[in-house]
Amino acid sequence: MTSTQNIIIRDALQEGSQRLIESESPWLDATLLLGCVTKQSREKIMASYPDSIELEVYSSYMSLIEKRAEGYPVAYLTGIKEFFGRDFHVTPGILCPRPDTEILIEEALKQVHDRAYKRVHDLCTGSGCIALTLKLENPDLQVSASDLSPVSEKVFELNRKNLENKDVKFTLSSLLEDIGPPLDLIVSNPPYLTSQETDERINRNWKEPSLALDGGEDGLDLIRIIIKDAPPLLNEGGMLMIEADPRQMDEMEQLMKKAGFENIKKICDLASHERVIMGNLK
Ligand code: GLN
């Protein structure tokens, strides 16, 4: 490859994706990384397979491929992750938005509409993808967000400005400690992996912070606190909606019932696994 001045895009993608054999989506990863280096969309790259790139571009691309092979998420390398049709900034220290979380958005928007909710709080907001998307999809909502992490605060502000989302207020808070009533809906994608699952990922060079993943021995440490602390902050008929692991849903249902929530419902993700649980107060 290095003997010629120009490299054919298809060959570069082939080489990159072979290097990323451990990724779940080697070709897509390679395409996004080449798009990042050449400042072109994924669609444009896909329409340009027979074209060529200069050696310098190829070298920058291959160094991103190496970083990806070391375990960095594509989004940390490109700085961008698409969520619900919009680009969100992400940096190391932040959980990259996942497509699974889009079902939480769809359900929250439906509930807000059906129950005429006005005030929504997104807890453990990370990049802000949930809070900012809800506000953009329904500008009449009053949305706030919080996270324990100062990195989240920075990235949230960046996304808030970029998406021209002026009125979404961020509070630096340990779970619901500094969050005040009255709220109609609390949504959250908290850390919910078990400590063992988190350790296994970190041993596989996973680069996302354990702060955003580790939910303790059974993954429910933070979720237990959220379920216990949410009711006093909610208005009559207010709702709690949490993303978690399918295996945690039954225990969460019990915890929510004990805390006074009713009409408990579980929503499946794209792989048909129960991923979001919700319930409302009387
Ligand atoms: N769903 C994420 C994963 O499995 C975990 C996110 C979280 O803990 N909130 O990677």
pLDDT of residue 4: 52
pTM value is 0.94
Pocket of ligand 1 (CB under 6 A): 95, 98, 100, 189-193, 213
93-280 is classed in which CATH architecture? Answer: 3-Layer(aba) Sandwich (3.40)
In the chain, the amino acid numbered 37 is V
Please tell me if the domain spanning 3-70 has the same topology as the one spanning 93-280.
no
pLDDT tens for residues 100-150? 999 999 999 999 999 999 999 999 999 999 999 999 999 999 999 999 999
- Please report, for residues 161, 200, 210, 241, the alpha-carbon distance to residue 205 in angstroms, rounded to integers and kept in the order given: 32, 9, 12, 31
Topology adopted by domain 3-70: Helicase, Ruva Protein; domain 3 (1.10.8)
Instruction: Count CB neighbours of 81 within 10 A.
Output: 22
Reported confidence tier of residue 274, pLDDT bands at 50, 70, 90: very high
* Residue 195 CB contacts under 8 Å (≥ 6 apart), including other chains: 214, 215, 216, 217
Q: How far is the CA of 108 from the centre of ligand 1 (A)?
A: 19
Contact present, 68 and 23 (Cβ < 8 Å): yes
pLDDT more than 90, % of the chain: 96
Q: Pick the residue whose CA is nearest to atom 9 on ligand 1.
A: 191
pLDDT tens for residues 191-244? 999 999 999 999 999 999 999 999 999 999 999 999 999 999 999 999 999 999
What whole-number distance in Å separates Cα of residue 12 and Cα of residue 215? 40
Where in the chain are the domains? 3-70, 93-280
pLDDT tens for residues 5-37? 789 999 999 999 999 999 999 999 999 999 999
- pLDDT for 281 beyond 70: yes
Q: How far is the CA of 38 from the centre of ligand 1 (A)?
A: 31
